[in-house]
Amino acid sequence: MFDEELRESKEVETIAVKLPTPIELTPEVFEVITSKNPRKRRASYLLVDTDPRLFIAEVAHASLAGLDDGHAKKNQDRFLVHMDETCCLFAVADGHGLAGHAVAAHIQTSMPTHFLNNLLSKTTEEASVDAIRDAENGVLKSGIDCSLSGSTVSVALVNEHRLFLTWVGDSLCFLLSRDQQGALGARLLNQPHNFEAERERTRVEAAGGRILRFEDPDDNFLGPYRVFLPDQPLPGLSMSRSVGDVVAKRAGVICEPEVAVTTLSEEDQYLVLCSDGVTEFMTKDEIASTVHSSIASLSEACEQIVREARRRWVEAENNSSDDITIVVVRFRPKKKTDERQD
For residues 304 and 27, give the distance between their C-alpha atoms in angstroms, rounded to a whole number: 45
Domain around 101 = 2-124+151-190+258-341
Residue 233 lies in a domain: no
Residue 243 lies in a domain: no
Residue 252 lies in a domain: no
CA 219 to chain centre: 35
* Cβ atoms of residues 92 and 171 within 8 Å: yes
Provide the residue type at 43 as one letter.
Answer: A
The count of C-alpha atoms lying within 13 angstroms of the C-alpha of 289, restricted to the half-sphere facing its C-beta, is 6
Residue 326 lies in a domain: yes
73-116, pLDDT tens digit by residue? 999 999 999 998 888 999 999 999 999 999 999 999 999 999 99
For residues 101 and 89, give the distance between their C-alpha atoms in angstroms, rounded to a whole number: 20
Residue 293 lies in a domain: yes
What is the pLDDT, as a whole number, of residue 247?
98
The model's pTM is 0.86
Q: How confident is the model at residue 15 (pLDDT cuts 50, 70, 90)?
A: very low
Residue 94 lies in a domain: yes
pLDDT exceeds 60 at position 25: no
- Measured from the Cβ of residue 13, the count of other Cβ atoms closer than 10 Å reads 12
Total structural domains within the chain: 1
Cα–Cα distances in Å, from 185 out to 3, 188, 287, 290?
28, 10, 9, 11
Residue 132 lies in a domain: no
- Of residues 46 and 273, the one with the higher pLDDT is 273
What is the pLDDT, as a whole number, of residue 48?
55
Phi, psi of 161 (to 5 degrees): -115, 35
pLDDT exceeds 50 at position 6: no
When computed from its CA atoms, the radius of gyration of the chain, rounded to whole angstroms, is: 21
Check which CATH number belongs to the domain holding 77 and give it: 3.60.40.10
Residues 6+ apart with CB under 8 A from 233: none
27-79, pLDDT tens digit by residue? 554 455 445 555 544 455 555 567 888 899 999 999 999 999 999 999 999 99
Share of the chain above pLDDT 70, in %: 83
pLDDT mean across residues, the chain:
87
Provide the residue type at 62 as one letter.
Answer: A
